Structure 1
């Protein structure tokens, strides 16, 4: 497999592992957006979160929860980001959670700054969307 994260898991690519669980690992991002940028990934290759088992999800997000406290020590605030699929901006097709220390002067903005024009939905469109997404 030509997945960089799978190569990290197998040891073919060296990295700075921070913590390993039975199903997940966390490590320093090799191309950090900020000092202390951490990635948390499942050991098994999955392109999207919904492709993972409940056990893998629980393990991954438990490690995310644990790592946030350490990342937060850097600036006091941490961006938690997941690009779930290519159209969502996922560059490596292996689930990964970014933990990026943030500060007021880091030149990055809120999630709304990523989109040039928000969607303006009618009441009926919101109702239809609600019916589609409600579980």
Structure 2
């Protein structure tokens, strides 16, 4: 199995521009930034996706994401931030990470990075019902979604 590059960064085995550390997180510059100053926040412990993160680590993880998003605009003379996270699909490194990207009007980023879709008649209600049912019973939803 290939070693996790983010675990190696956390351990100090791979060089990275670390911008902040807490007892549970490490934040460093993305090596291939969407915008200059693009930061990745990772948990120190190896988890692959957000659902894998223990619930008692959620608040510290997102507190660090919020901390960076709050201070980034003034530090980098930006107008705001874009905060995003992939889970499995499009996750280039299989270690939970949250992107905090500085944004300024006219910076070239346009909307979302994926196309939008429309629901067919009655389809939106079906998706909502399935999600409500899964969330109210805390069970996995059926894997029959087709869109």
Q: Calculate the aligned-residue CA RMSD, in Å.
A: 1.5
The match for 1:122 is 121
State the structure with more CA Rg: 2
Q: CA deviation at 1:119?
A: 3.0
Q: Which runs of 5+ in 2 are unaligned?
A: 136-147
Q: Is the 8 A contact 2:79 2:105 kept in 1?
A: no
| TM-score, length-scaled by structure 1 | 0.87
Q: Which has the higher contact order (CA 8 A, sep 6+)?
A: 1
Q: Hey, which of these two has a bigger chunk of helix by percent?
A: 1
Q: Which runs of 5+ in 1 are unaligned?
A: none
The match for 1:77 is 80
Q: Is the 8 A contact 2:4 2:95 kept in 1?
A: yes
Corresponding pairs, count:
130
Dislocated runs of 4+, deviation >3 Å: none
Aligned equivalents of 1:26 and 1:55: distance in 2? 19
Aligned equivalents of 1:107 and 1:40: distance in 2? 23
Structural mapping, 1:1-135, within 5 Å? 2-73=3-74, 74=76, 75-85=78-88, 87=89, 89-111=90-112, 114-115=114-115, 117-123=116-122, 125-134=123-132, 135=135
